[in-house]
Amino acid sequence: MFSPVSLLTFVTLALGIAANPVIIDRSPILSIPLSQIRNITSGHNLVASNLARAQAFKDRSKAQGSAQAKRQTVPVTNELVSYIASVGVGADDSQFDLIVDTGSSNTWVGATKKYTQTSTSHSTGDSVEVSYGSGDFEGTEFTDQVTLSSSLVIKSQSIGVASSSSGFEGVDGIIGIGPVDLTEDTVSRTTTVPTVTDNLFSAGTIAENLVAISFEPATSDESANGELDFGGTDSSKFTGDITFTSKVGDFWGISQSVSYGSETIVSNLEGIVDTGTTLLLLVTNSYNAYVKATGAVLDNTTGLLKVTEAQFNALENLVFTIGGTEFTFTPNAQIWPRSLNAEIGGVAGDIYLIVSDLGAETEGFSFINGMVWLERFYSVFDTANSQVGFATTPFTTATTN
């Protein structure tokens, strides 16, 4: 079962005016509650689930989204650390707990709680099918009213209604905030499906077609530690300026270099930023360089790297260079929260690292900056300008782990 961790997040909507004579009333700041979920039975399974998701990304990219390529045939348990929103669907505002996912773009329900048609429901008659590597669903595509709050309602959002799903026990589906191209070939007779963000923008509800995310490291079962901003950025959640870099590929992809101390372990390679991946994944050559530099050893019990107290005290920063700006990932940011060691089958007080091996290099997938990375930086996913932005936060250098 998932263990929910309550946290509050805000959907920030700016005021604006449309370019034509019709004035559109863009709403002030709105908020919706989110909860963190952790479905972890062991560190080994967490790593396996992250790698299965990564393989699904690679397969989709290679085959340009063909249904056969998206199928992940290796049986794994969907282990994750992510965030859910309680989203209303239909005229009766029936509530569904949906994972907020930047690595996919379809919104769908019915994994646990079943969908019931109301007066706002309309079946398109089209089939829908998406595989995430560590889970999948198939069903029928509908359009329906989607309610994020009483003031934030999408009158006709395309959603999948699952007839079958796997890997989503304890949640009801996904709200996808990835690029719209990720919906290609997922719905029959349809090229792409507008995302929730697309529809909020086209309806004039938000000023810009972008979404921004801030989190902070969660180290207990009681944390209020996140915000989701639609249509603009919240300057109270980051420090300094936001650095933007061009989006690469179909996903929220970027180019970056990474150094450990004086050694460059990633040199201007392409990869993705993904809320649905928990760990920081590096291709084998980069991972091996990191292991050698830190002196870490692979722990057979958890499947994660492990360091001694002395090695932890000697850890150096990982420095990510993105868009010409250096983002420092501190030694504390590189370790699994020690208060949560039991969740990965670890020993209390031992020190485990959150860097894992992504495998052989594949074009466009030399790294995945997952949730552990996103908790340290403010991130902006800008559809209108096809760019991704990052800024430091008060939690970039936190020592809570």
Quote the tokens at residue 390. 């990052």
Which is catalytic among the residues 59, 97, 101, 357? 101
Is 198 a residue of the active site? no
DSSP E strand stretches across 177-262? 210-215, 226-230, 239-246, 253-260
Would you give the end-to-end CA distance of the chain in angstroms? 24
- Residues 172 and 97 sit within 8 Å (Cβ to Cβ): yes
* CA dihedral for 28, 396, 243, 84, sign (positive or negative): negative
Name which of 121, 154, 169, 159 is nearest 139 in CA terms: 159
Write out the E strands in 167-251.
173-176, 210-215, 226-230, 239-246
CA distances from 272 to 61, 72, 127, 252 (A): 12, 19, 28, 6
Distance CA 345, CA 360 (A): 27
- Residue 229 falls in the annotated catalytic set: no
DSSP state of 119: T
Residues 6+ apart with CB under 8 A from 300: none
| Residues contacting residue 310 through CB under 8 Å, at least 6 positions apart | none
Active-site pick, 59, 144, 172, 274: 274
Rounded CA separation 377/336 (Å) = 17
Alpha-carbon dihedral 139, 371, 30, 21, rounded to 10 degrees = -70
Identify the residue whose tokens are 């309550």: 6
Amino acid at 328: T
Q: Which helix (H) or strand (E) is 68 found in, with range?
A: helix 67-70
The DSSP letter of residue 114 is: P
Q: CA separation (Å) from 68 to 73, 75, 250, 316, 325?
A: 10, 16, 18, 43, 39
Residue 186: φ, ψ to 5° = -100, -25
Distances (CA, A) of 182 to 46, 105, 154, 338: 24, 6, 21, 36
Catalytic amino acids? 101, 274
